[in-house]
Amino acid sequence: MNKLEKLATLKRIRTLSRLMDNSIRIPGLGFRVGLDPIIGLIPGAGDIASTAFSAYILFLAARFKLPSELWQKMIFNIALEAVVGTVPLLGDLFDAAYKSNIRNLALLEAHLEKSDADWRLSSFGQKA
């Protein structure tokens, strides 16, 4: 994958992660939530849909050929949010606070900063 493809993929991952976890600011509290806990309010199907979005983000991250220990951390984040998210109401509050997609984005960006010399030496690694 060339630099432009890496940049486009990372931009898509950032956009989807922020949409799912941080896209809506709660007035007066300064706390941000995304679509994930809102979708999760739909019994059964909401948790499946949220997990599917997270799995798609992992699918995009697979293009970076990540090491297995990083994969394990990212899958754990999604699995934890999926399992706890099945608990009515409390699971949705956990989804709003835990933000597995943002956590996984941070893991991916940290990995790229450490391991990809082209990434570090170019402006492509700049956070938007």
- C-alpha span between 30 and 41 (Å, rounded): 22
Residue 127: pLDDT over 90: no
Q: Which two tokens stand for residue 59?
A: 């699918």
What is the reported pLDDT for 124? 52
41: amino acid identity, one letter: L
What is the reported pLDDT for 43? 84
Q: Give the lowest-confidence range in 2-16, 64-78, 82-96, 111-125.
A: 111-125
What is the reported pLDDT for 89? 86
Q: What is the pLDDT of residues 83-126, one digit of tens each?
A: 998 888 898 899 999 999 999 999 999 999 888 666 554 555 55
Average pLDDT of span 62-89 = 94
Q: How confident is the model at residue 128 (pLDDT cuts 50, 70, 90)?
A: very low
Question: How many DSSP H helices and E strands does the chain contain?
Answer: 7, 2
More confident residue, 41 or 16: 16
Q: Which sign, positive or negative, has the C-alpha torsion 41, 87, 81, 94? A: positive
pTM: 0.88
Q: How many of the other CB atoms lie within 10 Å of CB of 100?
A: 26
- C-alpha span between 113 and 28 (Å, rounded): 35
